[in-house]
Amino acid sequence: MLPAFAGIAVAFGEGWNAAAGTWIGDALGLLAAIFWAATIVTVRATPLARASAAKVLRYQLGGAVVIALPLSWLAGEEGIKGGMAAPFPHPHPAE
């Protein structure tokens, strides 16, 4: 596992000298990969391993909705807040 993470560090290494803020995208991509791996391990280590693919997908999508909708509202996503002001305004308001 350590060589895999070292490979990621080498792959992202050229971006360390890139414009400020690009590391955020790299970190989010890495975080997404970690969560995807955690999802696979969870499915395989629970009774979902014997469930149909459609049922597993329904659970995954349901969990994504439960997590993503509140986070989108908190981030101030235009399509989510429905005219209400989000508690944490977007750091780069539209001009």
Q: Which domain holds residue 23?
A: 1-49
32 vs 37: CA distance, rounded Å:
9
Which residues fall within 8 angstroms of residue 69, CB to CB, at 6 or more apart? 80
Helix 22-45 to helix 2-13 angle (10° resolution) is 160
In this structure, are 44 and 57 located in the same domain? no
- For residues 63 and 69, the answer to whether their CB atoms sit within 8 Å is no
35 vs 52: CA distance, rounded Å:
21
In this structure, are 19 and 40 located in the same domain? yes
Print pLDDT tens along the chain (95 aa).
788 878 877 877 766 666 766 777 778 888 998 999 999 999 999 998 999 999 999 999 999 999 988 888 888 777 765 555 555 655 665 55
In this structure, are 90 and 67 located in the same domain? yes
Task: Please give the C-alpha separations between residue 10 and each of 18, 20, 24, in angstroms, as whole numbers.
Answer: 14, 19, 16
Instruction: Let me know how long the chain is.
Output: 95
> By 3-state DSSP, what share of the chain in percent is helix, strand and coil, each rounded to 5?
75, 0, 25
Domain count, the chain: 2
pTM recorded for the entire structure: 0.57
